[in-house]
Structure 1
Amino acid sequence: MTDAPIAAATTQILSAEAHPAQKPVVKTFFDEATFTASHVVHDPETKAAAVVDSVLDYDAASGRTRYGSAQKIVDYVRELGLKVEWQLETHAHADHLSAAPWLQEQIGGKLGIGADIVRVQEVFGKIFNAGTRFARDGSQFDHLFRDGDQFQIGNLKATALHVPGHTPADMAFVIGDAAFIGDTLFMPDYGTARADFPGGDARMLFRSIRRLLTLPEQTRLFLCHDYKAPGRDEFAWETTVGAERAHNVHVHDGVPEEEFVTMRTTRDATLSLPNLIMPSVQINMRGGHMPEPEENGVSYIKIPVNKL
């Protein structure tokens, strides 16, 4: 697949929405325990804001949750007097739990995710034998974004782009000159996300990445994770379209689709599952809510034996 049809489609969707002159303020909170970057993006004129990919602290050994990471976001929002309109999830994460419901209680905002979350719910609802009480219609979220949906954060124009591949439901949110792209890309020296989870597809991931890389070269890209590439001593989570096109070790300009698919598929076959995939998916597919308590009032996380 060439860049031409991808560029045309992206340009059509973003023609009225890509406003490089609109420069939102972005503050990132990095959780080293899960290597996750959560972002607070706001309009400096109106102080309207959105939180992207929040983290609920979780101790796997004890099964206990804490709100330390999320509290830092609350403190920042209150200190600046921001008005949170959205709690955005780029996808149903497999490596950390979402703090969105708790953050909604503290600072507000509608919870939004891509409409194809229903596909993730269907697949993982079966894997975890979630039963008929688990709705597979996305109703756990306040809003389901579809490709090309346009919305506002104060005066900032925003567009949702469907970028499947890592999971079927991945969304990128282009807000002014910034794009929050979840797990599609990492820093140029680290490469790209895996595509071997149920519903993932390396070929689809390549095409989604090439679509994102047709945005203006100066577009700021905010990532969901960083693991420090060999030779780099500091965590990083912000890059640009131009830097990714020139230097991404997996998918820079000139890398053909078949080469990427072969590389990604081969590499993914060597990877172990994320440490927190069992609790993360069960909770995140529920919009960050715990499974319904059992008769003793306690919620439980299931671990399917010999299934994944």
Structure 2
Amino acid sequence: MKNMIRFSPSTGSNSPDVWGVYEADTGSIQYVVADPATRKAALIDVVQNFDPRSARTDFSSANQVLELVNENNLEVQWVLDTHPHADHMMASYYLKEKTGAPNAIGEKVNEIAKLWSDYYNLPNQFSPRDDFDYLLNEGDTFKIGELDVQVWLSPGHTLGSITYIVGDAAFVHDTFMYPDSGTSRADFPGGTSKDLWATLQRILSLPENTRLFVGHDYGKDGREPQWEATVKQHKLENIHLAGNVTEAQYREQRDARDATLALPDRMLHALQVNLRAGKLPKPEADGASYFKIPANKF
């Protein structure tokens, strides 16, 4: 079954066209961001499909994104991720091979790789500098066609999450949810509600008409999945932040909620793939790749 696609057109000068492609198994939104003038595009947070019951992977979602690119006569200039995802595997390396475009993620993925090397007891098995072409820092800039892209370090959900700001569009990943669902969890290793609060406030300092594109939605109360809302909408309607909520109040409710949440069912599989830019572990003597899953650590 095809994933749901929704189009958010450019609003004018220095504003990108944005397609959101919803991946229902993980509630993830994958993005195609394009310069209307040059038709150059970036792909953000595209999913590599994974069945945790059989440990099978495939690239049906990534291929749908590539079909969308072709249908709209776009040229992929960048393959981007916002962080090493815990709830889905990334398709970064696959898309790099298919398009020839460089792949990138935040520079602090090196620290995340060290952290998870210890959890997996896999010393020297992750080398983000080898698997990603660019490791981006706070304040870095680059272009999608003629559009300027700013990189913000946005920790909280992970210690190395980054936000991409393209004109009046910001790709804010696992920070905000849709306003009726609040904000994202901050209890994974390296994440903190203190850092997440600071990140949320910084994003809310953007112009009020900025379109915020979130990383996940789960169709609250049976509504259709949604993933775009403006800064102004979040200020007025976000259930975790509206109404002059203080940092202490926010952190108390965030930490209490996080204490009730189970780990994502793909997390321990996904991180050892995502820290390799979406590549499976190195094949063993029989030609097959094997996951290493720590017992009783979480």
Using the alignment, how far apart are the partners of 1:105 and 1:245 within structure 2?
40
Call closer, same or farther: CA 1:32–1:120 in 2, change over 3 Å: same
Matched, 1:125 2:117: yes
Using the alignment, how far apart are the partners of 2:145 and 2:232 within structure 1?
28
TM-score, length of structure 1 as denominator length: 0.91
Q: What RMSD in Å do the two structures reach over aligned CA positions? A: 1.4
User: For residue 241 of structure 2, what is the amino acid of its counterpart?
Assistant: V
Using the alignment, how far apart are the partners of 1:296 and 1:251 within structure 2?
52
The match for 2:271 is 281
Aligned pairs (5 A) from 1:55-134: 55-134=47-126
Q: Residue 181 of structure 2: SS of its match in structure 1?
A: coil
2:215 pairs, out of 193, 216, 224, with 224
1:172 pairs, out of 163, 168, 192, with 163
Q: Relative to total residues, which structure has the larger strand share, 1 or 2?
A: 2
Report the CA distance between 1:20 and its aligned residue: 7.4
Matched, 1:39 2:31: yes
C-alpha contact 2:153 2:163 (8 A) present in aligned 1: yes
Matched, 1:182 2:177: no
Matched, 1:264 2:287: no
C-alpha contact 2:117 2:125 (8 A) present in aligned 1: no
C-alpha contact 1:195 1:201 (8 A) present in aligned 2: yes
Report the CA distance between 1:139 and its aligned residue: 2.9
Aligned residues: 288
User: Which segments of 5 or more consecutive residues in structure 2 lack a partner in the other structure?
Assistant: 1-10
User: Which segments of 5 or more consecutive residues in structure 1 lack a partner in the other structure?
Assistant: 1-18
CA deviations on 1:65-87 (whole Å, 9 max, x unpaired) are: 11111111111111222111111
User: For residue 109 of structure 1, what is the amino acid of its counterpart?
Assistant: A
Using the alignment, how far apart are the partners of 2:203 and 2:58 within structure 1?
35
- Deviation larger for 246-255 or 151-160: 246-255
C-alpha contact 1:57 1:69 (8 A) present in aligned 2: yes
Call closer, same or farther: CA 1:208–1:20 in 2, change over 3 Å: farther
Report the CA distance between 1:131 and its aligned residue: 2.7
Call closer, same or farther: CA 1:256–1:102 in 2, change over 3 Å: same
CA deviations on 1:42-61 (whole Å, 9 max, x unpaired) are: 00110110000000111111
Report the CA distance between 1:191 and its aligned residue: 0.6
TM-score, length of structure 2 as denominator length: 0.94
Call closer, same or farther: CA 1:199–1:20 in 2, change over 3 Å: farther
The match for 1:141 is 132
User: For residue 64 of structure 1, what is the amino acid of its counterpart?
Assistant: R
CA deviations on 1:236-289 (whole Å, 9 max, x unpaired) are: 011111111111101225110011111111110000000100111110111111
User: For residue 151 of structure 2, what is the amino acid of its counterpart?
Assistant: A
Q: Residue 139 of structure 1: SS of its match in structure 2?
A: helix
C-alpha contact 2:34 2:41 (8 A) present in aligned 1: yes
Using the alignment, how far apart are the partners of 1:80 and 1:118 within structure 2?
35
Q: Residue 156 of structure 2: SS of its match in structure 1?
A: coil
C-alpha contact 1:219 1:241 (8 A) present in aligned 2: yes
Q: Residue 221 of structure 1: SS of its match in structure 2?
A: strand
Call closer, same or farther: CA 1:275–1:133 in 2, change over 3 Å: closer
Using the alignment, how far apart are the partners of 1:77 and 1:107 within structure 2?
10
C-alpha contact 2:91 2:277 (8 A) present in aligned 1: no
User: For residue 175 of structure 1, what is the amino acid of its counterpart?
Assistant: V
- Deviation larger for 21-30 or 265-274: 21-30
Report the CA distance between 1:101 and its aligned residue: 1.3
Identity of aligned residues (%): 40
CA deviations on 1:210-245 (whole Å, 9 max, x unpaired) are: 000000000001111001223x51100111111111
C-alpha contact 2:126 2:275 (8 A) present in aligned 1: no
User: For residue 295 of structure 1, what is the amino acid of its counterpart?
Assistant: A
Aligned pairs (5 A) from 1:237-248: 237-248=227-238
C-alpha contact 1:167 1:195 (8 A) present in aligned 2: yes
The match for 1:191 is 182
Matched, 1:163 2:154: yes
Matched, 1:297 2:270: no
Runs of 4+ more than 3 Å apart = none
